[in-house]
Amino acid sequence: MAFISSGYNPDKPMENRISDLGPQHYEQFYPEVIKKNKGKWLYHEILKPGVLVHVSETGDEVYTVRCGGARLMSSTLIREICEIADKHCDSCLRFTTRNNIEFMVDSKDKVDLLVKDLESRKFDGGSFKFPIGGTGAGISNIVHTQGWIHCHTPATDASGTVKATMDEVFSDFQDMRMPAHLRISMACCLNMCGAVHCSDIAILGYHRKPPLVDHEYLDKMCEVPLAIAACPTAALKPTKIEMEDGTKLNSIAVNESRCMFCGNCYTMCPSLPLSDKEGDGIVLMVGGKVSNRISAPKFSKVVVSFIPNEMPRWPSMTAQIKNIIEAYAADARKYERLGEWAERIGWERFFDKTGLEFTHHLIDDFRDPAYYTWRQTSNFKF
Amino acid sequence: MELAEAKEKIVEALTKKAKSKSKFYFNDLSKILELKPREAKKLVNKLVEDGVLEYWSSGSTTMYGLSGTGKQAGAEHED
Amino acid sequence: MAKHKTPLLDQLESGPWPSFVSDMKQEAAVRAKNEKNIEYQIPQDAVEDLLGVLELSYTDGTTHWKHGGIVGVFGYGGGVIGRYCDQPEMFPGVAHFHTMRVAQPAGKFYKTDFLKNLCDLWDFRGSGLTNMHGSTGDIILLGTTTPQLEEIFYELTHKFNQDLGGSGSNLRTPADCIGEARCEYACYDTQDLCHTLTQEYQDELHRPAFPYKFKFKFDGCPNCCVASIARSDMSFIGTWKDDIRIDQDAVAGYVNGDFPPNGGAHAGRDWGAFDIEKEVVGLCPTECMKYEDGKLEINNKECTRCMHCINVMPRALRPGKEKGCSILCGAKAPILDGAQMGSLLVPFIEVNKEDGYAAIKEVIEAIWDYWMEEGKNRERLGELMKRQGFQKLLEATDIKPVPQHVQEPRTNPYIFWKEEEVEGGWTRDVNEYRKNHLR
């Protein structure tokens, strides 16, 4: 493969350099019906799971067909999405914040053909390319992070746990039987690039072993003060290590009881790896939300402290998730989010109804806010 | 402050510390320059453009160092 | 024939949900065939090797990636995340496999031409794999080699008029909800505010000089579909000041069962006939509604605009006409001190396209000045607020304290009075004091 230059001259990086362009202007990408009716929409209705109509004060309508997608997406698949949009949607489409793909048409008679087309497309392995759903009081697509596909600090895989979970809850992606919408999110380590901290159900990868210290190489590969400064809990300090042959090396000592397993030191220093087959696994958190509807936004709470990684389909994890969802679906009131339900019935009742085991790991002991999460009233349920 | 003066201050301060570490936060640089962050930024940007300073990013945080110094390049196979 | 056997990943091809494994295999096959005769600039079998390294992770339960902090494009501190495989000899195709963040258009609307061009570039100079989109909102181009980074940037800027997104101690690529483009709830044009501010603050986005990352997110209404209140240092949430608009005929339509409640969102179960008393009036958190003699009344003064009634009856109820946004500050994910939700700083501000959003920019820049001066290394705005107190943020932005700023007033009296707030100041004469108080 011969190197082909774009025109860039590495000897003069600033020559003809263009910078600070920002993104494309949004308006050039609007479908005509959107451009014409922006700001004029009157109401919307979900016609069936995954199919919405929005009606404008001009009388115009836009029909949206929402499809789930893996956020890891090949150019081949994107081209197929483009082909569909070229065929049905005047070459326009959009993505949602939850990695769904939305195809829009401007009249009802175009919907059926589009839906049929989307439903007919499958991967060679048998899964749908464009499952329609993810609307209303159902389970939408999972927002997630990179995991083992591309990250250096994950405690689990992201795409795999998401695929396994979405297969398990697929009927609820295409249905709207839940008391309210239920949002699942996934982050593959506690740094939470996926910001799962306000989700109805959060899948979180978690390490449980402090970093290994590769003393022999550490001082060659890393700058000790930088690695030490990277630790958010000040668990690292400089040390001298005597090797078997008597040589003394600069290295790092880990105060293991202070380690919160974040991997920030590994980011700075490749001689401090922390992933481990037995140590790493999944935490489940529930009851968060971001909407201000009825009650204020809430953080998710840890209800399962650890589930081992079970590749390739994480059956214990998906079973727990399904169990929580069914308990919620059976017991919550219409419009009640998972966290609102748990608060109404009380968390002690949540553990009853889900059958989840309550352990000491679920009681907060991390810094200030912990105290206020303990029960400070004599009111509780037996 | 003139660019030449800024360059001299930064190179001197960073070289002095080069033995223990090669990467610095932006705040460290504005302290070296004894300037408010917004003023310091203009000069620091220019020093990056002139190849005196280079960035190192953890993905979430960015640090600055004298170009080509430190152990990162070796560890990251970019030397 | 696949380069690496992937028996574990193969099990992720079954089931209804789109299989990323099937998609990767499809891409690997397309690259192997190369029907378009592309002169691949990174290894043709990169996707095969990525499947191989992922299978290895599925076998040994650990990651095989290392971070790289040096690589980037010249003059930018963000937009590229360096990645190296820790088994480069087994998987040479992904030995160097860096991510590029490409700034997404506001609202994530696309025309196919743009996407196809991007695919052409990425097939030619990268792995052909993407994330549509990353968590912050960017288009993620997943996997290329170091020499290709500048080439890709050159082509993006010269051919596509397109820039990279943010990473590191930068303003991160701002993100917005669909807003007025296709939502009747939107109280301002989220796309225009998002795009305008993104363009205005390109320098902050590319050249890191902040203590840490900084995020803007724009939600058109309090439903918060882009989670701004939980995920952004500055959250712009659409709201209104005047009365909810009521169409009593449409209210009757809901009561009579002519329209499905909540836009049909609950159609998957038989919840019984719609009961406006129970489902709307009874669930109003401020109890400011009543339904009498077939008429719905709202005591708007007591309404906190939670959106519930509007969500349930979108044909009958609409946000008022005097619209703008609230600004909340300091949200972040848990690390380090615990998760923080955004705290209300500006209850209402006009979102004025005509003057280029001057009032909003003024608040943003005051906050940046404060945070850049006072923030410690790697301290998010929310953590600075926590360390120094909300009052400091009010001072920095010159905003008058109002009861809306708090959930409740303080439960301790330990007020740090300033000298100038106390009559007569703090300088006193001890001898004067001793005239009345013996030693």
Q: What is the pLDDT along chain B (79 residues), one digit of tens a residue?
A: 789 999 999 999 999 998 889 999 999 999 999 999 999 999 999 999 999 999 999 999 999 999 989 888 888 877 6
Q: Max alpha carbon distance in chain C (Å)?
A: 101
Contact B61 C78 (CB under 8 A): no
How far apart are the two ends of chain B, measured CA to CA in Å? 33
How far is A272 from A266, CA to CA, in rounded Å?
Answer: 5
Average pLDDT score, chain C: 97
Helices C358-374, C190-200: inter-axial angle, 10-degree rounding: 50
A50-91 per-position pLDDT tens digit: 999 999 999 999 999 999 999 999 999 999 999 999 999 999
**Token duo for residue C162:** 């397109």
Dihedral angle sign, alpha carbons of residues A92, A97, A101, A102: negative
pLDDT at C160 > cutoff 90 = yes
Dihedral angle sign, alpha carbons of residues A61, A67, A73, A78: negative
pLDDT confidence of C438, banded at 50, 70, 90? very high
* B78 shares contact with chain C (CB less than 8 Å): yes
**Token duo for residue A97:** 């914040």
**CATH architecture designation of domain C245-318:** 2-Layer Sandwich (3.30)
User: In terms of C-beta distances under 8 Å and separation of at least 24 residues, what long-range contacts does A75-79 make, across chains too?
Assistant: A75/C27, A75/C119, A75/C122, A75/C123, A75/C128, A75/C129, A75/C130, A76/C23, A76/C26, A76/C27, A76/C30, A76/C128, A77/A129, A77/C23, A77/C26, A77/C27, A78/C115, A78/C116, A78/C118, A78/C119, A78/C130, A78/C132, A79/C116, A79/C119
Residue C250 Cα distances to C117, C240, C277, C315, C416, angstroms: 47, 21, 16, 6, 54
In 3-state terms, what secondary structure has residue A73? strand
pLDDT at C147 > cutoff 80 = yes
Nearest CA to A187 out of A199, A195, A179 is that of: A195
> So what's the pLDDT on residue A192?
87
How far is C365 from C345, CA to CA, in rounded Å?
Answer: 14
Residues C339-367: b if buried by 16+ CB within 10 A, e if exposed: bbbbbbbbbebbbeeeeebeebeebbebb
- Contact, C47 vs C31, CB < 8 A? yes
* C132 shares contact with chain A (CB less than 8 Å): yes
Confidence (pTM): 0.96
> So what's the pLDDT on residue A195?
77
Percentage of residues of chain C with pLDDT beyond 90: 98
Q: Does domain C175-241+326-405 have CATH number 3.30.413.10?
A: yes
* C376 shares contact with chain B (CB less than 8 Å): yes
Which residues in chain B are contacts of C86 at CB distance < 8 A?
none
Contact A223 B75 (CB under 8 A): no
* ipTM of this complex: 0.96
- Contact, A351 vs A358, CB < 8 A? yes
Note the CATH number of domain C7-159: 3.30.70.2500
How far is A57 from A66, CA to CA, in rounded Å?
Answer: 23
- Contact, C261 vs C312, CB < 8 A? yes
**Subunits with 3+ C-beta pairs closer than 8 A to B:** A, C
C-alpha triplet A156, A158, A162: angle, nearest 5°: 120
CATH 3.30.70.20 residue ranges of chain C are: 245-318
Interface test with C, best of B22, B27, B66 (most C CBs within 10 A): B27
pLDDT at C281 > cutoff 80 = yes
Nearest to A294 among C130, C154, C308 (CB): C308
CATH of B3-75, one of 3.40.50.280, 3.20.20.70, 1.10.10.10, 1.10.3720.10: 1.10.10.10
CATH 3.30.413.10 residue ranges of chain C are: 175-241+326-405
Domain ranges of chain B: 3-75
- C185 Cβ contact partners less than 8 Å away, ≥ 6 residues apart: C220, C221, C223, C238, C307, C310, C311, C314, C319
> So what's the pLDDT on residue A343?
98
Strands (E), C313-412: 317-318, 323-329, 343-349
* B54 shares contact with chain C (CB less than 8 Å): yes
Nearest-CA distance A87 → chain C (Å): 11
Question: What tens-digit pLDDT sequence spans chain A (382 residues)?
Answer: 799 999 999 999 999 999 999 999 999 999 999 999 999 999 999 999 999 999 999 999 999 999 999 999 999 999 999 999 999 999 999 999 999 999 999 999 999 999 999 999 999 999 999 999 999 999 999 999 999 999 999 999 999 999 999 999 999 999 999 999 999 999 999 988 877 999 999 999 999 999 999 999 999 999 999 999 999 999 999 999 999 899 999 999 999 999 999 999 999 999 999 999 999 999 999 999 999 999 999 999 999 999 999 999 999 999 999 999 999 999 999 999 999 999 999 999 999 999 999 999 999 998 878 999 999 999 999 9
> So what's the pLDDT on residue B19?
86
Q: Which residue of chain A is at minimal alpha-carbon distance from C316?
A: A43
Which residues in chain C are contacts of B48 at CB distance < 8 A?
75, 77, 207
Nearest-CA distance A125 → chain C (Å): 5
